[in-house]
Structure 1
């Protein structure tokens, strides 16, 4: 018998195993710790993976957004904004033809020059005065539905005005209803363009707002021809149809980035109102509108006061729009190079001087045309630089709410501007006297010079704030918490900083 192969022998060669409870606990604890470490490593790995994925997604998003900045579909948006300006502010500038016709032909019995000026003021300003409500409405129903509602109102207003035969009917249609239609179309249209442009923001704004100039040419000359061949009422009908179609084309093309950049759609922001920049901006808008609306609405009648025909008056009024169509893109190019506020300051200084030195002594048709071209090229600079200047002063997120408050102030100023202008005019109209509009010219010139001074102070405010802030991009900064002293504003008016103003 082989003892070595027996089970007893195998057992005898093995050392007995002693069971120790403490050792078992230690082993279990080690296993648990190892398991926890593995779990944590897995979680960390998953977390790193998620962070990396999110980082990639953000990078993709940035790349995607960059592709639509200053190029690609951004220019389609620019064209859509051009159409909106053509069919809104272009139509509004055409009121100069109706104003001159109503005033010289006693179209509505019992209506005075004050009635017609109030109708023009209402058409320009009342709707804009409700811009905070419109901004809130945009946040609730969206930008495109808001423009669509405005388009329907604008069409209905002019169509009903063509059937009006009493003064109060004209107040409600071509005045009040047209005003809300204009505001609902133009306000949302203005806020879209800055979302697609950065380096070429003012240039694109100049091209888009040139639409109002081109529209003004078409509606001034075209509707004057219709007035002479058909009637003033047929002119209103044709104008309403043209505008209605063009705004619908723009609505189809429009795309917004409101949700991506988290734009604020509230009606009012007390923090903005508490900044000095807002009140400088507000004073600029008021003084600019005083000069702008007076010149825009009175040039046709000013020409007839020199002894020329209503058709020649419509040509002079159209020259303002031609100057606007040619001048605004040029102003935009200069503004992209030197800064929107800086260039607009020079533009309004020149316009103020022209009103005082060229318009007052004007006695010939050629002088009236030259004045209209030069002022038209420069006095509408506000529309090209307004959106970039608001974004530069208050940042992207607060752009819409700031716009709504600025538009409200612009609406109030625009409401009373024609009334002030016609009150300064001597006589009721319908007679030749070159000195009828001397007081209007002085008022407009001083207003434009005051607007230029306000812009210079706004430039000083922005530059002083730039020196206080460490941030490089004003679009994404929150400037509300920065306090700028009056002395810093004055001393910074001619300074340069890291970003164009």
Structure 2
């Protein structure tokens, strides 16, 4: 859509749909209405706005591409750090209906206000070419990145969604879990910038492999051994530092694999692979907890294994082009 119609029309349309989804969700009386509004409308609209914009900075930079991408996507981490406690305050003061309405109106207003600052270097395609360029899958590197993104998202959000309930099961209040989510978002935002900066020195593909693998190992080493708040904080910090690489470096590596000229369409297709993990990952993890009688061991294995397998797929790309280990790539 960005290639055909331009960046701003797609972002405006998406943000109006997502904001309207939140506002309409405040009037929902049944579960299916929540699926339609807060689920489909918000998700579809936010995807149009967010995933089309993450590749903008990559188009404008070469030497500092990793840092530029990290700064760009750090915004969502900062938003998560602020919105988690803010939403809890709004819900406690004015109820969840008005909290949803305020968030929906704020989303539309803020994004439309900064839209004037957003511009793409590559102009939209005026005619010709497929809407979905599936020919990109002929590129083995692109296909492996698609599969990597699908695998990683099965585990990526699992700790964040389950951590509040996990802390309650350890005997702590829901506020502790919400605070840990805020800590994760804040650490994640900083790590996106730092990992982008380091990637410019040591290579974005190298850093994406390492950060993705370490995020999975953090689940095994730290989440698996968490029995109280101190270790939970350690896990959230370590996981947040490494998980930030997936957001900041994924579009940078895509630019290297597929080329900047096809980046808008490439990123759209790549992020479509996240659909499966984002939709099914957390429900599967929750089902594993239920099937295990409330124990989290196998859920943690599930969350940790997904990114490790994703990192293994990236190794195929890495060693196909360069077999030497200590080479920037």
Asked if Structure 1 and Structure 2 have the same fold, meaning a TM-score greater than 0.5 normalized by the shorter chain, the answer is: yes
Counterpart for residue 324 of structure 1: 188
Q: CA deviation at 1:234?
A: 2.4
Alignment-derived partner of residue 22 in structure 2: 158
Distance change >3 Å, CA 362–CA 258, structure 1 → 2: same
Deviations 1:142-164, CA, capped at 9 Å, x for gaps: 21011001111111100111121
SS at match of 1:398: helix
Residue 447 of structure 1 is matched in structure 2 by 306
* C-alpha displacement of 1:310: 1.2
For residue 338 of structure 1, what is the aligned residue in structure 2?
202
Aligned match of 2:86 = 222
Alpha-carbon shift at residue 207 of structure 1 (Å): 1.0
Higher relative contact order (CA 8 A, sep 6+): 2
Q: Give the Cα separation in 1 of the matches to 2:145 and 2:324.
A: 15
Go from structure 1 to structure 2 and tell me whether the alpha carbon gap of 1:353 and 1:140 turns closer, same or farther (over 3 Å shift). closer
CA distance in 1, matches of 2:324, 2:166: 37
- Asked if 1:420 is matched to 2:251, the reply is no
Alpha-carbon shift at residue 461 of structure 1 (Å): 2.9
Q: Which has the larger radius of gyration?
A: 1
Structure 1 residue runs without a partner (length 5+): 1-136, 464-491
Say whether 1:276 aligns with 2:140.
yes
Match of 2:232? 368
CA distance in 2, matches of 1:367, 1:264: 55
Q: How many Å separate the matches in 2 of 1:199 and 1:418?
A: 37
| Paired residues for 1:138-217 under 5 Å | 138-217=2-81
> Equivalent residue of 1:380, what SS?
helix
Instruction: Report the alpha carbon displacement of residue 210 of structure 1 after superposing the two structures with TM.
Output: 0.9
Q: Is the Cα contact below 8 Å between 2:17 and 2:41 reproduced in 1?
A: yes
Is this contact kept in 1: 2:155–2:306, CA < 8 A? yes
- Residue in 1 that maps onto 2:319: 460
Give SS of 1:397's match. helix
Q: How does 1:34-73 map to 2 (within 5 A)?
A: none
In the alignment of these two chains, the number of paired residues is 329
Alpha-carbon displacement from aligned partner over 1:414-445 (angstroms, at most 9, x marks no partner): 111122111112279xxxx9x63222111111
Residue pairs, 1:98-113, within 5 angstroms? none
Measure how far apart 1:400 and its partner are.
2.2
Structure-2-length-normalised TM-score: 0.93
In structure 2, the partner of 1:396 is 260
Q: 1:248 aligns with which of 108, 112, 120?
A: 112
Deviations 1:281-315 (A, max 9, x none): 12211221111021232122222221111111100
CA shift, 1:265, in A, is 6.9
Moved over 6 A (4+): 260-265
The answer (yes or no) to whether the contact 1:267–1:404 under 8 Å persists in 2 is: no
Q: Is the 8 A contact 1:261 1:397 kept in 2?
A: no
Distance 1:331 1:275 in 2: 26
Residues 90-120 of structure 1 show CA distances to partners (whole Å, capped at 9, x for unaligned) of: xxxxxxxxxxxxxxxxxxxxxxxxxxxxxxx
Distance 1:177 1:261, change over 3 A: closer
Shift of 1:273: 1.1
Cα root mean square deviation, aligned:
2.2
1:321-356 per-position Cα deviation (integer Å, ceiling 9, x unaligned): 011112111111110100111012111222122101
Match of 1:131?
A: none
